[in-house]
Structure 1
Amino acid sequence: MEQSHGSARPELPEPVQALPEPSTPVPTFPEPLVIGRPPMLRSDPGVLPTPHPEHLGRPDSELDGAALPGLVVRAASIRGDAHRYYGTPRQDAMGLWQTGEAQLLTCVADGLGSKELSHAGASQACASAYRNITDLRAYTDLQVAAEYLIEGIADDIRKQAVQHEVPADALSTTFLAAVIDQSADASSHRARLMRVGDSTAFLLRRGVWEECFGKEGEETIASSATHALPGDIGHVEVAVADLEPGDMLLLCTDGISTPLTRNSRVGDQLSAWWSQAEPPSLPEFFWQSSFRAKSYDDDRTAICVWRV
């Protein structure tokens, strides 16, 4: 074989290695804010609750919201750290719907802790409110309209108890609803409120909390806490709140109302968050509602309605 003549083939240079992209820090979401002394329990969900044979388990938390003419809504229902620790279900429930003509229905319910199926009763109360609601503006007497609605809700809870073959009080739950007029042209939005038990409502106006059902001392709270559906249909309370631009209406269970009224730092922090010019985003609202404070580890449900 003849040897080829000519210059030798030059060696190819080593391929240039691409420089690595500068690392971008991954954003992290902060842990829930601790207000005051840190609680002993963790805020992470633990074991899943055991579903009842007649009623499936419930999710740890719910998040919802809406943008309506003149109104912005944020809603969250969060299982308390104590229920997470013991693996028991969230006993709170909530609901929000548009009903009728230019009318918003919001409601929260808190199943009694000592009742095995109270979480089912709370869910039933909110769903039943939507099925039984009528245009309350057609009634001249709000008390009469509220009692009519509450009777319908209580009847549905009793029917559910029959289906589960348990006593009616096994589904005992508090209940609070607000029917809010919505119109972009209105100078104020009227909220008609009704409740049985200690779930309550506040009006946040210029950074100050006002209780919609009047000032509640510890004696009143302890007394109303014994009232629950379906049994206590004779203990219906009503109130009216007019939302002006910049106001916020809060419907909540006692997991929010108790620390808000008994721990000034909690009340001040919630006021600071929810008095901003812009309502929080859904993730931000969930984070705010997940604040931690020693001794307050119950389920928390809050529905905030801003008049914008």
Structure 2
Amino acid sequence: MKQLHAKPRFIPSGRVLDPLIIGDEPMTRPVTGAIPDVTGKRPDSELDGADLPGLVVRAASVRGDAHRRRGTPRQDSMGLWQIDDTRLLACAAGGVADAELSHVGSAEACTAARRALAGLLRHVERGAPVKHFFEDVADDLRGRAERDRVPVEALRTTLLTAIIDIGEQCAHVARIGDGGAMILRGGDWSPCLPEETGTPHALPGDTGHLETATVDLGEGDMLLLCTGGLAGPMRGGQVSDQASAWWAQATAPSLPEFFWQLSFRAESYDADRTAICAWRL
């Protein structure tokens, strides 16, 4: 008897929704210019995440509309590393706008943070000064500048780190610069660190301007770590309310959905944007 084979089913092509516009529509249209031809070029965007026992993590770093229009590289970087069964290291770095190679510096800072993790763990476990950890990262940036034969100021970057500890139900946050760290609990946002005012501090030179906090991370809470490109618009009610509506749901977004959410457009906010969200289950 001749066997009949069903015809393959094809899904008609459809457009992915454009990024959400929050508030007034930006005056300029979103365009992607030339691919940056620079030393240490970063890809336009990064996406990462994990579904771990007791913790769901979503992370994305998106090149801002301003850099896309000009064909210049994304200056933000991020990193996620699992330390052991209950702990995770998360890093978000934001290059300084007037530093020529800040995209290299931010990527180097995240990599250096992973290399210097032992120092950060000593701070968490034994009360050692966390400043030593940031000094190690700063030394790595100076070493990179020396190897590349560039001014160290060209690599300036902010750095926000967190050790998320599910076993202890807390997060240890440390920052130099204008990155934001917040807890979303019951639909409301609470800052983990005070808002930085004035000129943002940056590595490798500003290791003395360090802020730290240990925050409870209870069941149902979400920790947000972000660079200044998201921390800025989050100070306004429209963006923070929309983020709460997205991220206070019973389930975390998928990776593609999270990338779409972080790609929102808002008037006067066209910088790179990096966010790491960790939901405590």
DSSP-derived class of the 1:73 partner: strand
Q: How many residues align?
A: 271
Structure-1-length-normalised TM-score: 0.84
146, 170, 177: which one aligns with 1:190: 170
147, 150, 153: which one aligns with 1:163: 147
184, 188, 192: which one aligns with 1:208: 188
Cα distance in structure 2, aligned partners of 1:290 and 1:57: 20
1:50-97 Cα offsets, whole Å, 9 max, x none, are: 212xxx311000000011121000000000000001111000000000
* 2:37 alignment counterpart: 50
Give the alignment of 1:1-308 within 5 angstroms.
25-52=12-39, 56-100=40-84, 102-134=86-118, 135=121, 136-140=123-127, 144=129, 146-183=130-167, 189-214=169-194, 216=195, 220-223=196-199, 225=200, 227-261=201-235, 263-308=236-281
* 2:5 alignment counterpart: none
Q: 1:44 to 1:281 in 2, by over 3 A?
A: farther
Q: 1:163 to 1:71 in 2, by over 3 A?
A: same
* 2:3 alignment counterpart: none
Cα distance in structure 2, aligned partners of 1:23 and 1:59: 31
Structure 2: any 5+ residue segments left out of the alignment?
1-7
Shift of residue 44 of structure 1? 3.8
Q: Does the 8 A contact of 2:19 with 2:263 survive in 1?
A: yes
1:102-141 Cα offsets, whole Å, 9 max, x none, are: 3200010001010110110100000000011122432235
Cα distance in structure 2, aligned partners of 1:209 and 1:191: 16
Shift of residue 22 of structure 1? 11
Cα distance in structure 2, aligned partners of 1:113 and 1:88: 11
Which runs of structure 1 show a deviation greater than 3 angstroms over 4 or more consecutive aligned residues? Answer: 21-27
1:272-299 Cα offsets, whole Å, 9 max, x none, are: 0000000000000000000001110000
DSSP-derived class of the 1:286 partner: helix
Cα distance in structure 1, aligned partners of 2:162 and 2:87: 10
Cα distance in structure 2, aligned partners of 1:22 and 1:240: 52
Q: Does the 8 A contact of 1:45 with 1:60 survive in 2?
A: no
Cα distance in structure 1, aligned partners of 2:239 and 2:81: 29
Cα distance in structure 1, aligned partners of 2:74 and 2:245: 27
Shift of residue 236 of structure 1? 1.1
Structure-2-length-normalised TM-score: 0.92
Q: Provide the identity percentage.
A: 52
DSSP-derived class of the 2:183 partner: strand
Cα distance in structure 2, aligned partners of 1:43 and 1:139: 49
DSSP-derived class of the 1:45 partner: coil
Shift of residue 101 of structure 1? 5.7
Structure 1: any 5+ residue segments left out of the alignment?
1-20
